[in-house]
Structure formats: C-alpha cells, structure tokens
Amino acid sequence: MNQALVFSSHSFLGFEVCKQLLDEGIVVHAVSDKRLSEDRELEVGRNANFHFSSSYPIPYRSKESGYVFFPFYDVLYDEEINIKRWQSMMKNKDGFIPGSHFIFLYSSNWLKTNDSNQNRFQMEKFKEELIEDERFKLTVIYLPTLYGPRQPESFIIQKIMNQTDSEGCACIDLIDDLESAILIQDAVKMIVSMKDKEGSFLFHNEKEDIWLEIFQYLEVNEKIRIRSAQKTDKSKLEVIYVENSLSVQEAICQQKEYQLKNRGGFF
C-alpha cells in the first residue's frame, strides 16, 4: 500500500506521522479541523504527495486499500480536536476499502486508568469492531510521553522550560507518563516502520532511567525527580524498545531552539 489517511494532521503526533510517511514516499491524505501552522506548511506543503483537507465528509475516495492513522494521543492535550467527526468516520467503516490497515495511537496512560468518558468508549468500541471484522487489519500502539520540537505546553518538559512549574506539576499524572519518554521523531519512525504489523504494542525507551536523565539535565526540583511512576501491565502487550537517535541534551536543546524560533506556536 502506498497511501495513508491521517487524522488530526495539524497536531503534535499527527503531523510527525505525516512527515515520516512522506519521507518514505507514501501519499498522505491529511485531515484536520484546522489549517497547518505556517512552519508546518513550509515543511510539507510543497510535497506533491501531501493532500490536505479540513472538510467532512472527507473528499478522499480510492479504489485501493491504505493505512488509516488515528492519533488519539493528541486528544490528551488538545480539547479542540473534534473527536465527534472522527467517530462519524468510525461508524461508516464500510466506506473503507477491504484490506485497509487501521493504526490507533494511544497514550500509555490509558492502560493505567479506567476512565469511562464518551470519547474513550467510542474509540474502544470501534477497536473491538475492527478486531472482529476480517476485512480490515488493526495495529494498536500505546505511547509514553513524547517530547521534542512542538511539544505542547501541557507536558511537564515544556512547562519546566517555560518556567511555569519548577516545584511540581498538578496535572503531571494526567498527561505525562513518568514510566518512560521517547523523542517524537524516534517514536514516529518506529510507528511507520511497523505499519504492516498487526497486534497491540507498548513503546518504551531503551533506557529505563530516561526520565532521571531528563530531570537532571533540566535541573528539576528533587520532589519531581523522586516521584514514582505507576507501572503498566505489560502482560497482554508486546513491548517495543525504541533506540535514541539523540542524547537527552541534544533532544532538549532541539526542543528549546524550536521554542525560541516559534514562541506561541505550540499546539
């Protein structure tokens, strides 16, 4: 398959998925309620394989099967993502060509809570329907904290760099997964490399002490550094250990540099 449909393409994870797919020569049909920011548009807007739409129903019809990416991870921090429109697409899965491969990208924190909100209920219902439908393929990937350029301000690393939380973060357990963290480029490269692999997976940094390195580099208050992380039940998942292409210092410097160039441009 050489084409993909990517929802929430303006967002932190959704946009990185688009970029990686384009780098591999895959035609990307990107869908979002919002236009891409100027810097994102400069990166992908002139690529002939990139097609953007902000309208629903999606003006995308194909006689061939393809990949369908749902970056549910981005719903964590962006309340303006219109999940109801995603749900309307889910309910109409018969509109997808048999053989299409659905890829769900969740936060690993979902494995640690029993949150029963309506969005999650609809996502899980759709996932179960796909598992039972032999016409389609399904991959489910749970992701820990992703960091790097464009990380949203609700995540702890960005809060610390903005100096809005040097003592402790009230929402740290709701957004960040203190069990692991992965540079977003490394995570997405692995996601795309696994696009033909079915099953349920949990991504984890190859370094068990990655958060300790991050907090030490950022000179974070000891109260945050010693705070324990709730452990994930890995019994029903295949754990994928992701290698680091950059050191913690290099990765966070990259994030800082982007912040300085694009103040106020986070999502």
Which carries the bigger pLDDT value, residue 88 or residue 28? 28
Q: pLDDT per residue over 161-210, tens digit each?
A: 887 545 544 444 458 888 999 999 999 999 999 999 999 999 999 999 99
Compute φ and ψ for 101, nearest 5 degrees.
Answer: -115, 110
Taking 70 as the threshold, does the pLDDT of residue 5 lie above it?
Answer: yes
| pLDDT, position 98 | 77
Q: pLDDT per residue over 21-66, tens digit each?
A: 999 999 999 888 777 788 888 888 889 999 888 755 454 555 677 8
| pLDDT, position 154 | 87
Least confident of 75-89, 95-109, 146-160, 198-212: 75-89
Confidence of residue 125 (pLDDT cuts 50, 70, 90): confident
Distance CA 142, CA 24 (A): 23
Confidence of residue 234 (pLDDT cuts 50, 70, 90): confident
Taking 60 as the threshold, does the pLDDT of residue 265 lie above it?
Answer: no
Distance CA 232, CA 108 (A): 8
Global pTM reads 0.88
Taking 50 as the threshold, does the pLDDT of residue 267 lie above it?
Answer: no
Which carries the bigger pLDDT value, residue 209 or residue 129? 209
205 in Cβ contact with 181 (< 8 Å): yes
Confidence of residue 226 (pLDDT cuts 50, 70, 90): very low
| pLDDT, position 53 | 82
To the nearest whole number, what is the mean pLDDT of the chain? Answer: 82
The rounded percent of the chain whose pLDDT value lies above 90 is 42
| pLDDT, position 85 | 64
List of domains in the chain: 3-261 (3.40.50.720)
| pLDDT, position 93 | 61
| pLDDT, position 88 | 64
Least confident of 9-18, 24-33, 85-94: 85-94
Angle (CA) 141-165-109 rounded to 5° is 20
**For residue 166, which of 247, 225, 213, 254 has the smallest C-alpha distance?**
225
Distance CA 145, CA 266 (A): 16
Q: pLDDT per residue over 103-121, tens digit each?
A: 999 999 888 776 666 667 7
Tokens of 231: 């452990």
Compute φ and ψ for 199, nearest 5 degrees.
Answer: 130, -175
